[in-house]
Every structure is written in C-alpha cells, then in structure tokens.
Chain A
Amino acid sequence: MSAAIGLEDVFVRFPVARDWRGRVTVQAHALNGVSIAVARGRTLGILGESGCGKSTLAQVLTGLLPPSSGRVTGDRDGRISIVLQDPNSSLDPRMPVWRIVTEPVFLHAPTRREALRAMAADLLECVGLRPDHVDRYPHEFSGGQRQRIAIARALSSKPDIIILDEPTSALDVSVQAQILNLLLALQAELGLAFVLISHNVAVIRHFCDEVAVMYLGQIVEQGSVDTVFADPAHPYTRTLLDAVPRIGTGRAHHALDETELPSNRTLPTGCFFQNRCPMAAAGCERPQILSGGAGGHLVRCHRA
C-alpha cells in the first residue's frame, strides 16, 4: 500500500519575539521531527494533550503552514480535506447550506447554481441529512447535524484524505458515536484515508487503525491501536491511558505529580518527558530516538 500522505522529519518553529533589528530571539518549537504516513482506506490517530502540536500538525498536513524543515510527501492538490472541531464556527452563518457544502467545488470552477444545488442535495443524503434542506442556514441545525454538513463539505471536493481535527469533542456524547460511525461508513465506501486528531483515548481506540502519541511536538510512541493500547511501552502513553476515568477505581496510580507541559520555547535537553516521568533514571539526559520493536511498534524511550 502506498502512502496517500506523509510527513518526513518535519520541524515547525514560530518566531515569538524579535529584537530591535528584527532578528528572532525567542522561538516556539511546535513540531520537532515528526514523520508519519497514512495509506488509503486507513486511519491514523494523533493522540496528545493540548499544546502538544496536534493542531500545528493538521495545518502542515493541509498545507496551510509550510514546515520549517522536513518534507510533506504525497500529492495534496485538491485531494485533502478537513473537518474542524467546532461546527458552530466552521460553517459560515451567512451562507445557505448548499453554498457551504459546495464551496470546495465552486472556489475552483464556477458552476451553475442548479448544478451546485443538486450536488449539495446528493451530499446531504450521503451524510444522512434531508436533501431538501439545502436552502437552510446553519443556525437551523443541531450540533450533530452541523458536523454532518461539515463532513459533506469535506467530501464535495472528492478528496483522498480527510483531516479530522477533534471532530467530535464539541458534540454531545450521544451524537459522537453517530458521527464516528458515519465517518467509518464513508471510509469503507470511498476508500478515504483519515488522520484523526484527538485528545480522547476512547475515540482513537474505537476509530483508528494506527495511533501516534505526541508529546511536545514529537511522536513518543507509534503503532497499531491494538498493540499500543494493549501494551503501552512509553511511560507517557501509560500515563495517558491511566488518566482515562474508570468506574470503581480511585486515583489512577500513574497520575503525574508534575502536570505542567514544559515550555516549547526552550526545548529540554535529553528526553522531553524526563521531568514528569515516573521512570526517569540515568540515560534520560540524552536525546531519545524513536526506535522499533516488533510489528512496527515504535517507542521513544531507552527504558521501554
């Protein structure tokens, strides 16, 4: 299987402050050497807490943000699409649904109004909405319905890859599953590649084939969802999985004392996780590399 899209050793740095001559004095290191690949019909989950570089990763994948170094592989022209977190903000309140849904089409090729409306009706049907609602405005729909509209819009450009940036975290729990199942059905039908960005372990577990766990702009553990979640090797992954609340247990035994994410202005030397790591020991002061175990299970920890 060939990769539909991939990143090769991508770094992204933002200038934060400049001196009086315009030279950059402080930088934010958003991504620090990320390599991923997603094949057609497969789903890669990006798991991490806020501030770990998930959104930057989405922007690099969609081409909104050029990497400071590294490469984006795969042909992205018109074949990549996005579904954003908050369907209240991602649909223009002043546009009727048929224009929202067909925007990726008419931006590039002026198309007759009737053709666009027909296309919009088909797309609405695809995502389980009534095709005769094409003339309504976003405020007339519920949150879950709006997210369906956003999905219809993402489909209209006939993409190969859809970036799902926290597609369910703004929705009611009862609606989340519906949206995820709709996405799975569409993937099976159209052979789409998904990159799902989420902080929600349960969503990733339910939805993804592979998972990459991110910490401070690096992937710390990567592999198939089954392996990683059944046998997490990196201490950070274990902490994340332990943080998922479960009925009947008290405070998770791996919960961290140090809860602050280190600043991404000056990166730690050595392992990025060492100041929070319950397993920190000698050797952690050296930079860690992402190295492989069996079945493509990669871990960035010398003690794993």
Chain B
Amino acid sequence: MMAALSRLASRGIDWRRLRHRIGASPVTVTGLVMLGIVVFCVGLLPNLLAQDPNVINLRARLAAPSWSHLFGTDEVGRDIFIRVLHGGQVSIGVALFVVAVSASVGTVIGGLSGLLGGMVDTAIMRLMDVVLAVPSLVLTMALAAALGPSLTNAVIAIAVVRVPTYVRLSRGQTLVVREAGYVMAARVFGARPLQILRLHVVPNILSPVVVQATLDVGAVILMVAGLSFIGLGAQPPAAEWGAMVSAGRSFILDQWWYSAFPGLAILFTSIAFNLLGDGIRDLTDPRQKGRS
C-alpha cells in the first residue's frame, strides 16, 4: 500500500490544482482541520506534557474542570485531560490498525475473487454474505466474547467483521479492471493471477478502497469504544475512551465531566474522519475530474 501511495505521489500530481479543489470543498477543509487538531492533541501533546496518565492523587478525587485539571479528575484523582490524550493513542491507533488490516486483507481476497471468478468467487462471496447478514456489532461482540475480553481480541474481532465490506468493494472494482486491455495483455505475456493482482488490479482499485478506509476509521473508533464500554475491549486501568466513558457512567449525574470529555473526544474524531473520507471521495470522483 505504501509503495502504491508513493507511486501515486510520484505521478506528478498538480499540487496547486489539488489545493484549489480541496479549498473549494468546505467539508474536506473542516475534516482536515479537525483531524489536524486530533493529531496534535493525541500525537504530540502527551509527549510535550510528559505526564503519566495513571498517576493517582487521592486528595484531588473527582475534581471539577479547572485550570490545573482542564477536564477534571476521576474517582482516584487521575487527570482526565491527560487520560483522554493517552486514551486517544489507544483508540485511534487501534482503529487505524484494524482498518489497515481489514482493508488490505479484504482487497486481496476481493481482488482474487473477482479475478479468478467461477467457483472460487462464488464460495468467497457466499461466505462474505453470511458475515454481512449478521449485524456487525452483534457479531463483533460474539467474537470478542468468545475470544475473551482483551484489547487484542477486540481488534481481531472488529477486523474480521470489517473484511467483507472491502471484499465486496474491491471485487466489484476488479470486475471492471479485469476487462481492461492491459490485463488481457498481461495474460498473454504469461502473468499469473497473483502478479496481475499486484501489478494491475490493486493499483487501479486503490482510490475507492482508500475512501472507504478513511470513512471506516470513524466507525471503528466507535466500535472499539463500544466494546471497551461493555468490558470486552481495553481493560482498566488502561486509558481508552470507551472504557473511560464506561467507568464514568456511575458518576454521570454528579461528575458529568468524567464521561463527557472522553465521549466528546470520540465524537470529534469520528466526525473528523468521516468528513475527510467524504472529501476524498468527492476529490477522486471521476465525474469531478473535469471541474477545476
């Protein structure tokens, strides 16, 4: 994927025109700005502040938001602002990892399915239909519960459930690419299916997959948080947004800030990724190519 992206980059993109088109789309700009804020807060701030999210301070238990504790503190006096920053590393990191894994696996399976056709294709697609037929959150919960409650198992469960979307998407795109002359030529020159997949199919179906993946990050953050909320994901005392919302539940009437700030972080980040995904989809839409 990185190789393909760098190849894309080396294609002499018209940066000025790209900037102009991004600038003409307020959705993309908003998404980019919001994502910038998230990256700064989650990626840089924890290192700059260098504070341990698990430091207990029993004298400052359940303190309301103030200048010394921006988001207040929890029931053992841990600073919620610091924990939200560190929790973001877990939530977003996990979400990116899950999306990367399910997108690459799904693209390879879907590409092969579309390329080989016949029985292989039918078998793969029926299997994916079965997975898609079950509501994804229910299936994720069942998988995570069966594997045992831990963040690793939650990651595996979500990744498995996310794969069929990519399989369907990339298979559909592959059916188009498969008919292209360069695939026929490659066959004549003796390319094997895996070579055709790597050389021709994947690079040419990448943009819709990237769009889908960006949109998915927001949804997966919600799923990770959801699993952690019901105790199937990150385990205490790890700082993770869903787990924090869950822990704050018992204090929600008197200490609203405990659940509210991690919850807002989830909301903000999901929206950021969704806006960006929408923006990229608009930019890569071939019908817009002619417009400047």
Contact = CB atoms under 8 A, between A and B. Distances in A.
A80 B186 contact: no
14 contacts: A62-B188, A64-B188, A86-B181, A89-B180, A90-B180, A90-B185, A92-B182, A103-B186, A103-B189, A103-B199, A107-B189, A107-B190, A150-B185, A163-B188
Contacts of B189: 81, 103-104, 107, 157
A171 to B, nearest CB: 14
A115 B185 CA distance: 22
B188, B191, B199, B200: which has the most chain A beta carbons within 10 Å?
B188
Interface of B: 7-8, 11-12, 180-182, 184-191, 195, 199-200, 203-204
B182 A91 contact: yes
A7 interface: no
Contacts of A92: 180, 182, 199-200, 203-204
Contacts of B191: 103, 107
Interface string A141-179: 000000000100100010000010000000000000000
Contacts of A80: 188
A98 B110 CA distance: 29
Contacts of A112: none
A103 B199 CA distance: 10
Contacts of B8: 94
A137 interface: yes
A74 interface: no
B190 A93 contact: no
Contacts of A157: 189
Nearest to B184: A84
Contacts, number: 61
A78 B190 contact: yes
Given A62-B188, A94-B204, 6 more contacts: A63-B188, A64-B184, A89-B180, A92-B199, A94-B203, A137-B11
Contacts of B186: 103, 107
A64 B187 contact: yes
A82 interface: yes
Nearest to B8: A94
A81 B11 contact: no
Nearest to A78: B190
B181 A89 contact: yes
B7 A94 contact: yes
Interface centre among B180, B182, B187, B204 (most CB of A within 10 A): B182
Interface of A: 62-64, 78, 80-82, 84-86, 89-95, 100, 103-104, 107-108, 137, 150, 153, 157, 163
Contacts of B11: 94, 137
Contacts of B195: 107
Nearest to B11: A137
B59 to A, nearest CB: 61
Contact of A81 (B180, B182, B184, B188): B188
Looking at B12, B184, B191, the one whose CB has the most chain A CB atoms below 10 A away is B184
A5 B203 CA distance: 35
A84 B203 contact: no
A38 B217 CA distance: 58
B235 to A, nearest CB: 44
Contacts of A137: 11-12
Nearest to A153: B185
B190 A90 contact: no
Contact of A82 (B7, B180, B188): B188
Contacts of A93: 204
A100 B180 CA distance: 14
Contacts of B180: 89-90, 92
B118 to A, nearest CB: 12
Contacts of B204: 92-94
A123 to B, nearest CB: 14
Kindly name the residue among A94, A100, A108, A150 whose own CB sees the greatest number of chain B CB atoms within 10 A: A94
Nearest to B195: A107
A246 to B, nearest CB: 33
Nearest to B202: A94
Contacts of B190: 78, 104, 107-108
A81 B8 CA distance: 29
A63 B187 CA distance: 9
Contacts of A94: 7-8, 11, 203-204
Contacts of A85: 181
A107 B190 CA distance: 7
